[in-house]
Amino acid sequence: MSDYQTFTADDARLFALTHGDTFRDSDQLEAEEFGDGNLNLVFRVKNQQGRSLIVKQALPYARCVGESWPLTIDRARIEAEVLLRHGRICPQHTVQVLHYDAALAAIVMEDLGQWDILRGALVAGKQFPKLASQMAHYLAHTLFHTSDFVLNGLQKKTEVARFLNPELCLITEDLFFTDPYCNHERNSIHQAILPQARELWHDEALQAEVARLKADFLSKPQALLHGDVHSGSIFVSAEQCKVIDAEFGFYGPVGFDVGSLLGNLLLSYAGQFGLQEDAAAREQQQRYLLGQIETLWQDFASEFSQLMQTQTKESSFANSRYQSFYLQQVLADSIGYAGCELIRRTVGLAHVADLEQIRNEQLRARCERFALALGRQLILQRHGLTTIQQLLTLVQHLPIPA
Ligand code: SR1
Ligand code: MG
């Protein structure tokens, strides 16, 4: 880390000028740091014609907490390499990486700032009809092409080693699977839902199922995951979507990526009870979200099946019964991880605007209780929910708590 130094806006400007062919030496470049994420510095560098690039630099600590939480800057390598791998497989839905510098832990990438970040757009009540089918395509292709269906044993183990990412995985292991189920100091719990949070700390049946999901997260290297597919990691427009922020990438269970996105669509669904006062508009937005959830799974399952049937290289896995079993497992895992995402975003360290932006505290508490109750049901019932329609029925019949 000897050559590492934290970028100023001027460093970011020079870095963007030197790497990539977007800018000329004669350009008047402006750079500003605008990152509001949990971990990194993010600069936008722009010339006088309005052309722009993003420079992202990993800090040697977690930005949201400060220097008391040291964090490897190798996460920039993981992020760049996952995005480059996924970008080769699915360029239309992966942000383009133009340059990566290991010593400075910095990446130059395309600027998608003319699009919306999905989370904010959903909070504002926007709809993107193509989102689910495009994300299904991204997930099916990136996960299939980095799995044992395609890679041989030697290639796969080399890749698993390259993407071990122990420090960032530890964050997920703690924040996703441990903290919400005990009285951890990292948790952030609104007073009004403290009784429901306490129930999680004593719910042995739930904790046993979360332990199974955590064990799989630790020991099921099925494919190269993005590792953090929440709605703040997706840029959208009416026609397109692209995924950013792959620093949590590693070889893990396929259902973790699918489930993270499902969980975020469900968080948006839960938040609608408090964000949208007009009942007709709320129902319309919630119908849209449920439709996207259905399409996400149906399209993912159909594309992944098609890929298994036509592009499997390992003969043992060409067996069609095995392939059906595999997909059924992915659905159960996805539902379980979606449940964990709902719970950890409600009582854990990292909250989401879908719930936080509800101004009325009592209403917010009801939405949070809904998210917790739904998360619990998804985790406990995941093996009995064998179709996506069953999941949708569960969501629609779950009462919004008092
Ligand atoms: C300390 S990092 C908190 C959360 O932000 C990231 O985007 C991941 O979701 C992580 O769990
Ligand atoms: Mg992120």
* Index of the ligand 1 atom closest to the CA of residue 233: 7
pTM beyond cutoff 0.95:
yes
Q: Tell me the average pLDDT of the chain.
A: 97
The reply to whether 59 and 174 lie within a common domain is no
Asked, for residue 216, whether it belongs to a domain, the answer is yes
For residue 350, the CA-to-ligand 1 centroid distance in Å is 6
H/E element holding 243? strand 241-243
pLDDT score of 20: 78
| Average confidence (pLDDT) over 134-150 | 99
The reply to whether 140 and 94 lie within a common domain is no
Q: Of 110, 143, 166, at which residue does a domain stop?
A: 110
pLDDT score of 1: 56
| HSE (side-chain half, CA atoms, 13 Å) at 165 | 31
Asked, for residue 3, whether it belongs to a domain, the answer is no
**Among protein residues, the one whose CA lies closest to atom 5 of ligand 1:** 38
* Index of the ligand 1 atom closest to the CA of residue 176: 11
**pLDDT, tens only, 329-356:** 999 999 999 999 999 999 999 999 999 9
Asked, for residue 402, whether it belongs to a domain, the answer is no
Among 13-17, 65-69, 142-146, 169-173, the least confident range: 65-69
Given pLDDT bands bounded at 50, 70 and 90, which one contains residue 269? Answer: very high
Mark the binding-site residues for ATP, compressed into ranges: 40, 56, 110-112, 245-247
CATH code, domain carrying 235: 3.90.1200.10
The reply to whether 157 and 74 lie within a common domain is no
C-beta 175 within 6 A of ligand 1 = yes
Q: Of 70, 91, 110, at which residue does a domain stop?
A: 110
- The CA R_g of the chain, rounded to the nearest whole Å, is 21
Q: Of 110, 139, 155, at which residue does a domain stop?
A: 110
pLDDT above 90: residue 157: yes
The reply to whether 104 and 147 lie within a common domain is no
C-beta 350 within 6 A of ligand 1 = yes
pLDDT score of 65: 87
C-beta 234 within 6 A of ligand 1 = no
**Structural domain of 41:** 9-110
| Average confidence (pLDDT) over 301-321 | 98
Q: How many CB atoms lie within 10 A of CB 316?
A: 8
pLDDT score of 2: 72
The CA distance from 262 to 289, in Å, is 10
* Index of the ligand 1 atom closest to the CA of residue 62: 1
The CA distance from 92 to 133, in Å, is 13
C-beta 194 within 6 A of ligand 1 = no
Number of domains in the chain: 2
Nearest to 9 by CA among 252, 281, 325, 17: 17
CATH code, domain carrying 61: 3.30.200.20
∠ CA 383-386-388, nearest 5°, is 120
